[in-house]
Chain A
Amino acid sequence: MKEKIIDYTNEYPKWNDSMKSTHKILIPNMLPWHFRIIGDVLWQEGYDVEILENETRSVIDEGLKHVHNDTCYPCLCVTGQYIDALKSGKYDLDKTAVLITQTGGGCRASNYMSLIRKALSTEFPQVPVLSVNFSGLEKGSSLKMSLKLFIKLGYAIFYGDSIMWCYNQTKPYEKENGTADRVRDGLVEFLIQAFRKGKYKNFIKLNEKIIKAFASVERTDVKKIKVGIVGEIYVKYAHLGNNNLEGFLLSEDCEPVIPALMDFMLYCIVNVINDREYYGHNAGTAFIYRYVYRKVYGKQKKLIKLYKDEGTFEAPHDFEYLRACADKVLNQGVKMGEGWLIPAEMAALAETGVPNIVCAQPFGCLPNHIAGKGTIRTLKNLYKNENIVAVDYDPSATKVNQENRIKLMLATARENNGRINN
């Protein structure tokens, strides 16, 4: 490096924690039920957060106007959601901030931050963008992460996953329409209270409560086709990003199988550990990550045991099992974006009776060329009935086009099902 760094950065408003008392923080909605719990956790920490629920066409239009044509769809959705909200007049612009996560990985996702900043700069130059990350990025404008908050968020994700996991296995089979939704609403409220009362560490009891509540919903005994959803993290989960894929699958009389958010967290953690094992990167960092991994994975194992003991629902994936699945398809060195997690989930789903899969990705997603579409051939060779449709999400890709392709996958699924049953 030469003597001096030339600074081409533009001035932008930074977040500092003193704004806690003055600013409202807007959060994009990726997983509504998870985020309701997480939102409340942050609120308890003194952050005035609001999870955005604007999901109309104007959100996408704002995104199109403010984000580069070739930028990925999630960035476009999130930016559009912010701008649409800020334009709504509902917020005091001098006292509003927006939040975005950064993983620090090698794909574009960690740059959403600066893209959002750029998009806001003309019309909302006073609105700070704050980063949530664990990699030491954006030191001047990130959320202060205490160990306690960190742990709380971990629990919140676990509970959110548990609710999502049970709900998806209950909703298609409920006898009385709407029961599963009522149970879900009640549980989210209950968990928020548990966090407020400081009882969130009661991992076993709370999860038992979740499982039992859903297990008590009266079920029909029809058989439905299970369809796994994997892919890029945002379009995999967010209704805005995937045209409500979950709802579409339900309307097609299927059971959507959506793997847990915690698996993505574990995936990120393992990648740091792998950097040590593959390349000999920093031992100290790896030591800490290994510790965190052991803790979280231990919890996951306990959770799985609860599901198995109770017996109503399929248990969630065991992360070590996912890693073993990955090894059959794609090297764990592929760590950008959702990397090896995608084929790992596709293989695990196939092995657990869910060979029908929608692999969702933003149009032109770079890591997905390799980890998504690139692995389908290997998977098909491994699992005879593997039935994957890769769907691109994009502001202008029409719903009809996407649904038609998913329908083709479903037609094949039904046919395969018929063959297996006879």
Chain B
Amino acid sequence: MMKLMGIDVGSTTVKVTVIDGEEILYKSYIRHFARVRETVLSELYNVRKKFDGEFAVSITGSAGLGLSQRSGLNFVQEVQAAFIAIRKFYPDADACVELGGEDAKIIFITGGTEQRMNGSCAGGTGAFIDQMATLLNISVAEMDEYALNASKVYPIASRCGVFAKSDIQPLINQGAKKEDIAASIFQAVVDQTVSGLAQGRRIKGKVLFLGGPLHFLKSLRKAFVTTLNLSDKEAVFPDDAPCFMSLGAALGSKSVKPMPLGSIISCIENVSDSAEIVTGRPLFESKEEYTAFVKRHRATDLQFADIAGYEGDSYLGIDSGSTTTKLILITPDCRILYSHYQSNNGQPLEVVTEKLKEIYKLCGDKIKIRASAVTGYGEELIKSGIKADFGIVETVAHFKAALHFNPKVDFIIDIGGQDIKCFKIKNGAIDSIMLNEACSSGCGSFIQTFAKAMGMEIDKFSHEGLFAKHPVELGSRCTVFMNSAVKQAQKDGAGVDDISAGLSSSIVKNAIYKVIRASSVSELGENIVVQGGTFLNDAVLRSFELETGKEVIRPGIAGLMGAFGAALYAMENIREKSSLITESELDGFTYESKSANCHGCTSNCNINIISFGDGRKHVSGNKCERGAGLKPASSELDIFAYKQSRLTECIKKSTGTRGKAGLPLQLGMYEQLPLWAGFFESLGFEVILSDKSSRSLYFKGQHTVASDTACYPAKLMHGHIESLLDKGVDFIFLPCESYNIDEHCSTNHYNCPVVAYYPELLKANNERLNANNFISPYLDLNMRKNTVQNLYRTFSGYGIKKREIAKALDEGFKRLEEYQRDIRAKADEILEEARKQDKQVIVLAGRPYHLDNEINHGINKLLTSLGIAVLSEDGVFDKTQAVKVDVLNQWTYHARLYRSAHFVAERDNVNLVQLVSFGCGLDAITSDEVRAILEKNGKLYTQIKIDEINNLGVVKIRLRSLLATVEAEKNKNTQR
């Protein structure tokens, strides 16, 4: 009988299966390290050694498509291949989950066959797990082991690797246990699969689990089985899972014309490289050019002093970064006595104490550490751990360091492992700060992860790129996308050197065009200092110089600049006696980390408590002071706190005779709650509000989310609906409103498409909703009479008179107007009080629904704890005129933003921070305008992107940097 062969070329592995009738003659599973063609060929040679005769062959898999097209061999789509094999070997299966290197798939077999695949923006796959393991600096197998001993699971954003990273990094820095982090990562993958792919359809019955990760990782299996609540019988993990798709492809070859193996091999041997790759110019044309380049940069190194021979004072700077820890010890004349740079292995405190011991030993009695300062992500933990004298925000540290190398510096760019920071310097102060947003972080750790995936050390990998002839153009976007672009380039035959050079230039382009958003390179200034560990990579440095066309300064200690700046700061602010932990104290230094929930308020924040050997404690993860056992800052000057209580007061809590009306407090309802509460209460309904937003509320509705790239507020809405349904309301009311209320200061007054029509999506994707329990009329509230008519028709089943409707609507509008009036009055009050107390004011400008603590992650509380008075856009916009902007001003809420920006521009001591929900397409437009308005008036623009991730660390850096700049500005003005 004819032999059937299936070749499955995945994103990381090649699988080959040969069958003869029922019998599996041969199967193999090997990594291809991007050498797809060679790997497939070597496998075929193996097959040739064992068998002869004719084969009917098919190729499958995500990387197999191109190979099939160019070799002319038959292609079977991989989900289809899996399906064929399932029907053959597991005819009684109900569903199948398959995770691959870059794809995740679900096949529903019984109850309506359906095959689903992840979209283009979805992590949750093998590559994601690899990336996370790299971040923890352990192997995937180790991560699997760790996870089995977990005691706790942290919520981690599962949508995309970049987001998950931002969730995990703070956990690492706060000292959370590796076991728990590992388990959380696997849980995130499960959540992503269940919510992102299943989308409302339950995975139940006999479930087959396929693909490499699910075969090799016990913890991942466990997480799936527990989450889906499957019995041992129901969860099936086939032994041949890794090769399942190739098996399916072999079975799918039945109708393919058989060929001698020799012809198949020559088909693949003859595959040529595709000509589709776009290439750029080489980084260096010649070795000489490179030598000159290296020599030029050598010139800007610090001097070293011999620690063994030196006697006298010294200053210690520590930069506890996201993935690395840096220490530096300098003399008063800025010579380096000691420096250290290492990956923190997820244990920054351990690294610091160990190195500090070493420093103390080297110093002996002759060198005295006069002062110390800490900066970076892990600042607070390290500072309290080793009792450092100062903690400074990292932007300030970097600026200090850059000034040392070029007093005229007007632009600093720092690319670290995890983030990109850029600041413009004007008049000796930081003028604007740009940090990478969660979505464009093509940073250093990406090259590192990638080098590892190629089986190479980072140094060697980047060195390869220096002399690449045809660097690949990889675009400049988020790493997940870049990953696919790299894969595609590999498939098209690009070499490691070309990819390495391409990655370097991508990182640079990403920084210049996406983070800085320069419209031309001349905007960057004349005296540029580049720093951060990533710039130690000559390929990146060169790419930057080529792209900007400028010669820049890269200090020899580019990777230590934060620490150096901290040391300089310590030197400038020296106190009588340093509080730094002494050598003897250090010997007995121990600590223990424990996670807990704070019960200070209803937020129930996840907090981490680190207890030091001497009885001191460090608490992190808390949003307010309560978590640390302190009294929270007063919320008197916080309009968010006021609004939150004022908003719910709009419900007068009357018991209804006509029934219970449920109002989901999310999206537009955050603005219109007073209106609808008034309306329904006046009609004699009892108004029931949905539960407060929380992560768990989100999970409750996650299975009905249809589009996982929608904004977080929209996705939260699903949970609100579920909570109302559980409360037994008679109906949920949420109108569709194309038009918002006209505030007469814009060309049009639309709602954004999501706010306007989300009820339609809810109705279509939640099977518990129907025309009776979910009421969403189309209304234009500017047309009162028409609205009365529409509502009258909508509630015709309740026997309500039109007169009553009109009266109720009047009551609603009355409550809305009162609410808005009170907010504005409160804003005035806060402004006045802040002026009296000489406090800085920040307008947190976003949308009405940014009032939600689950959405803003308590940024208002963070601000009040920093001693800032907080206002909101809806409290201030009407205190100023309408503004005309360059873009079409056609959305009500956005028009408020422009006016708020102008309001801020007109006042001293008032600044604006714009809150932007990730995925908000409209804010791509508004944020540039708001920035323009502020900058035209010499104000700083700060934007904070918020999503389901709860990483206040980054936010804090931004806010503290802003405050530091404002402070510096103020001091300068008073000196004048």
Minimum CB–CB distance for B18 against chain A, Å: 23
Residue on B with the closest CB to A373?
B707
Chain A residues with CB under 8 A of B754: 366, 369-370
* A146 touches B (CB below 8 Å): no
* B757, A336: Cβ atoms closer than 8 Å: yes
Chain A residues with CB under 8 A of B760: 330-331, 334, 370, 374
User: Which listed residue (B519, B756, B778, B928) contacts A106, Cβ 8 A?
Assistant: B756
Contact A401:B756 (CB < 8 A) given known A364-B921, A366-B922, A373-B707: no
* B120 touches A (CB below 8 Å): yes
* A43 touches B (CB below 8 Å): no
Chain A residues with CB under 8 A of B75: 407
Minimum CB–CB distance for A154 against chain B, Å: 25
Residue on A with the closest CB to B747?
A137
Chain B residues with CB under 8 A of A396: 475, 477-478, 481-482, 484-485
* A333 touches B (CB below 8 Å): yes
* B890, A106: Cβ atoms closer than 8 Å: yes
Residue on A with the closest CB to B778?
A333
Within 8 A of B (CB), among A154-185: none
Chain B residues with CB under 8 A of A374: 706-707, 760-761, 764-765
Q: A385-413: contact bitstring with B at CB < 8 Å (1 yes, 0 no)? A: 00000101011111111111101101110
* B764, A111: Cβ atoms closer than 8 Å: no
* A106, B736: Cβ atoms closer than 8 Å: no
Stretch in B124-132, B667-675, B876-884 touching the partner: B876-884
* A1, B745: Cβ atoms closer than 8 Å: yes
Contact A106:B902 (CB < 8 A) given known A65-B513, A377-B765: no
* A377, B475: Cβ atoms closer than 8 Å: no
Residue on B with the closest CB to A395?
B475
A115 to B929 CA separation, bound complex (whole angstroms): 11
Minimum CB–CB distance for A357 against chain B, Å: 15
How many residues does chain B have at the interface if contact means C-beta atoms less than 8 Å apart? 96
Chain B residues with CB under 8 A of A231: none
A275 to B779 CA separation, bound complex (whole angstroms): 10
Chain A residues with CB under 8 A of B891: 106
Contact A280:B884 (CB < 8 A) given known A365-B921, A411-B80: no
Minimum CB–CB distance for A414 against chain B, Å: 9
* B707, A369: Cβ atoms closer than 8 Å: yes
* B736, A333: Cβ atoms closer than 8 Å: yes
Within 8 A of B (CB), among A318-341: 330-331, 333-337
* B786, A106: Cβ atoms closer than 8 Å: no
* A8, B780: Cβ atoms closer than 8 Å: no
Chain B residues with CB under 8 A of A278: 778, 780, 790
* B729 touches A (CB below 8 Å): no
Residue on B with the closest CB to A136?
B747
Stretch in A69-77, A194-202, A219-227, A286-294 touching the partner: A69-77
Q: B757-791: contact bitstring with A at CB < 8 Å (1 yes, 0 no)? A: 11011001100000000000011100101100110
* A2, B882: Cβ atoms closer than 8 Å: yes
A400 to B487 CA separation, bound complex (whole angstroms): 10
* A400, B65: Cβ atoms closer than 8 Å: yes
A333 to B738 CA separation, bound complex (whole angstroms): 8
A124 to B329 CA separation, bound complex (whole angstroms): 51
Chain B residues with CB under 8 A of A367: 753, 757
* B780, A281: Cβ atoms closer than 8 Å: yes
User: Which listed residue (A6, A334, A366) contacts B752, Cβ 8 A?
Assistant: A366
* B117, A110: Cβ atoms closer than 8 Å: no
* B485, A111: Cβ atoms closer than 8 Å: no
A61 to B513 CA separation, bound complex (whole angstroms): 11
* B648 touches A (CB below 8 Å): no
Within 8 A of B (CB), among A1-25: 1-10, 12
Chain B residues with CB under 8 A of A12: 886
* A68, B517: Cβ atoms closer than 8 Å: yes
Within 8 A of A (CB), among B65-84: 65-66, 75-80
Residue on B with the closest CB to A379?
B764
Contact A108:B739 (CB < 8 A) given known A9-B884, A404-B77, A411-B77: no
* B200 touches A (CB below 8 Å): yes
Contact A364:B709 (CB < 8 A) given known A7-B884, A106-B891: yes
* B919 touches A (CB below 8 Å): yes
* B299 touches A (CB below 8 Å): no
A394 to B478 CA separation, bound complex (whole angstroms): 12
User: Which listed residue (A108, A137, A281, A410) contacts B925, Cβ 8 A?
Assistant: A108
A350 to B748 CA separation, bound complex (whole angstroms): 36
* A108, B921: Cβ atoms closer than 8 Å: yes
Q: Which of B65, B485, B922, B924 has the most CB of A within 10 A?
A: B924
* A117 touches B (CB below 8 Å): yes
* B395 touches A (CB below 8 Å): no
* B520, A400: Cβ atoms closer than 8 Å: no
* B886, A279: Cβ atoms closer than 8 Å: no
A335 to B756 CA separation, bound complex (whole angstroms): 10
* A280, B783: Cβ atoms closer than 8 Å: yes
Q: Which of B484, B707, B891 has the most CB of A within 10 A?
A: B707
Minimum CB–CB distance for A53 against chain B, Å: 19
* B936, A8: Cβ atoms closer than 8 Å: yes
* A106, B888: Cβ atoms closer than 8 Å: no
Chain A residues with CB under 8 A of B890: 104, 106, 110
Q: B286-319: contact bitstring with A at CB < 8 Å (1 yes, 0 no)? A: 0000000000000000000000000000000000
Within 8 A of B (CB), among A357-371: 363-371
Chain A residues with CB under 8 A of B236: none
Chain A residues with CB under 8 A of B481: 394, 396-397
Contact A390:B751 (CB < 8 A) given known A108-B922, A377-B706: no
Minimum CB–CB distance for A172 against chain B, Å: 19
Chain B residues with CB under 8 A of A111: 887-888, 925
A117 to B63 CA separation, bound complex (whole angstroms): 40
Chain A residues with CB under 8 A of B484: 396-398, 400-401
A375 to B706 CA separation, bound complex (whole angstroms): 9
* A64 touches B (CB below 8 Å): yes
Residue on A with the closest CB to B118?
A405
Chain B residues with CB under 8 A of A417: none
* B586 touches A (CB below 8 Å): no
* B514 touches A (CB below 8 Å): yes
Chain B residues with CB under 8 A of A123: 520
A405 to B62 CA separation, bound complex (whole angstroms): 10
Chain B residues with CB under 8 A of A71: 921, 924-925
* B924, A392: Cβ atoms closer than 8 Å: no
A35 to B925 CA separation, bound complex (whole angstroms): 29
Minimum CB–CB distance for A233 against chain B, Å: 15
* B750 touches A (CB below 8 Å): yes
* A114, B886: Cβ atoms closer than 8 Å: yes
Chain A residues with CB under 8 A of B932: 8
Residue on A with the closest CB to B114?
A380
Chain B residues with CB under 8 A of A113: 888
User: Which listed residue (B115, B519, B739) contacts A66, Cβ 8 A?
Assistant: B519
* A280, B885: Cβ atoms closer than 8 Å: no
* A331, B778: Cβ atoms closer than 8 Å: yes
A368 to B919 CA separation, bound complex (whole angstroms): 13
Contact A137:B888 (CB < 8 A) given known A4-B881, A57-B278, A336-B757: yes
* B744 touches A (CB below 8 Å): yes
Chain B residues with CB under 8 A of A422: none
* B764, A68: Cβ atoms closer than 8 Å: no
* B844 touches A (CB below 8 Å): no
Can you name 7 A-B pairs with beta carbons within 8 Å?
A1-B744, A6-B902, A70-B921, A369-B707, A400-B66, A401-B62, A404-B77
5 extra interface residue pairs, beta carbon distance < 8 Å, beyond A102-B888, A411-B76 = A8-B885, A57-B278, A121-B519, A392-B119, A398-B484
B interface residues with partner A (beta carbon < 8 Å): 62-63, 65-66, 75-80, 114-115, 117, 119-121, 199-200, 278, 439-440, 473, 475-478, 481-482, 484-485, 487-488, 491, 513-514, 517, 519-520, 706-707, 709-710, 714, 736, 738-739, 744-745, 747-748, 750-754, 756-758, 760-761, 764-765, 778-780, 783, 785-786, 789-790, 880-888, 890-891, 898, 902, 919-925, 927-929, 932-933, 936
Q: Sorted from nearest, which 4 A-B pairs have the closest CB atoms?
A: A70-B924, A279-B780, A106-B750, A280-B786
